């Protein structure tokens, strides 16, 4: 990566599927072993030397600013507000970072993913510029899963309902260059003008890959533990696997 890398965290949603737990808090404020999910993300960024993070916020956005502020263990925190979070997909949240992407490479992080610190370390240390992480040990349980397709480490597609050359489930963790993201945002603007902005960014990226001049690669995470918190059962599972894996609480 040729430019400074920033953690770009998508945290705007109101989490309708977990509404019984998130009426008065964003999903990323749920606690796992007395520590908020958002704090795991920020702690890992600080641990691995990332100096800046940008949080895209919407639902209960002021709680982020009041509770996190503009610094977390030496990581500078900036905010982008998505006031259309109730009517847009998170592709719109990504597009709101377009000006940032002109200057910075990013770690694109879904705020509702709980993962072992070694996974982020692997992503940061990866020498390739544009990489999505995949779990090739996944089991489809809910139908919400997005998978990555491709061959020889090169991504050909990403999204639901894929059947050929599946390499694994997409974690919601990526390392993407300024050039890739700038080109992607240009494509999204055209996509939105025709089809609207209610799509998740993976759906748009799936089509973008066929037009992009920048290759996208996948990297498998092996047996490292992670979980996407979509349902109450996911939250309970996250708490269980955290207790079983010391590395979640190493620092």
Mean pLDDT of 194-208: 97
For domain 5-249, the CATH superfamily is Spore Coat Polysaccharide Biosynthesis Protein SpsA; Chain A (3.90.550.10)
Mean pLDDT of 161-178: 94
Mean pLDDT check: name the lowest of 20-24, 37-41, 165-169, 199-203.
20-24
pLDDT of 142 over the 70 cut: no
Rounded to two decimals, the pTM is 0.94
Report how far residue 136's alpha carbon sits from residue 114's, in angstroms, rounded to the nearest whole number. 17
Q: Is residue 244 packed enough to be buried (19+ CB in 10 Å), middle (13-18) or exposed (0-12)? A: exposed
Q: Are 205 and 158 in contact (CB under 8 A)?
A: yes
What is the pLDDT at residue 1?
66
From 171, 182, 251, 250, select the one nearest 218 (Cα to Cα).
171
Mean per-residue pLDDT over the chain, rounded: 92
Q: Which residues pair with 80 in a beta bridge?
A: 56
Q: Are 178 and 214 in contact (CB under 8 A)?
A: no
What's the Cα-to-Cα distance from 107 to each of 117, 121, 213, rounded to whole Å? Answer: 14, 11, 20
pLDDT of 132 over the 80 cut: yes
Domain edges within the chain: 5-249
Mean pLDDT check: name the lowest of 145-149, 169-173, 201-205.
145-149
Report how far residue 85's alpha carbon sits from residue 25's, in angstroms, rounded to the nearest whole number. 15
pLDDT digits (tens, 9 = 90+) for 11-43: 999 877 887 778 889 999 999 988 999 999 999
């Amino acid at each position: 990566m040729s430019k400074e890398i920033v953690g770009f965290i998508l945290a705007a949603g109101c989490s309708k599927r977990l509404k019984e737990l998130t009426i008065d808090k964003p999903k990323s404020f749920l606690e796992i072993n007395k520590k908020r999910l958002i704090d795991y993300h920020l702690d890992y960024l600080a641990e691995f030397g990332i100096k800046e993070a940008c949080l895209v916020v919407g639902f209960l956005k002021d709680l982020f600013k009041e509770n996190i502020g503009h610094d977390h263990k030496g990581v500078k925190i900036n905010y982008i507000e998505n006031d259309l979070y109730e009517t847009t997909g998170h592709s719109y949240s990504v597009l709101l970072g377009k000006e940032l992407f002109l200057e910075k490479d990013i770690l694109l992080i879904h705020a509702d993913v709980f993962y072992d610190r070694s996974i982020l370390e692997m992503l940061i240390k990866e020498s390739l510029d544009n990489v999505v992480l995949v779990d090739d040990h996944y089991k489809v349980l809910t139908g919400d899963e997005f998978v990555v397709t491709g061959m020889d480490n090169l991504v050909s597609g990403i999204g639901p309902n894929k059947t050929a050359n599946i390499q694994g489930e997409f974690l919601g963790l990526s390392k993407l260059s300024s050039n890739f993201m700038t080109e992607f945002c240009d494509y999204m603007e055209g996509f939105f003008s025709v089809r609207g902005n209610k799509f998740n960014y993976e759906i748009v990226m799936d089509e973008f890959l066929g037009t992009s001049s920048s290759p996208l690669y996948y990297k498998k995470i092996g047996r490292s533990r992670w979980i996407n918190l979509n349902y109450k059962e996911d939250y309970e599972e996250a708490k269980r696997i955290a207790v079983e894996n010391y590395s979640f609480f190493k620092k």
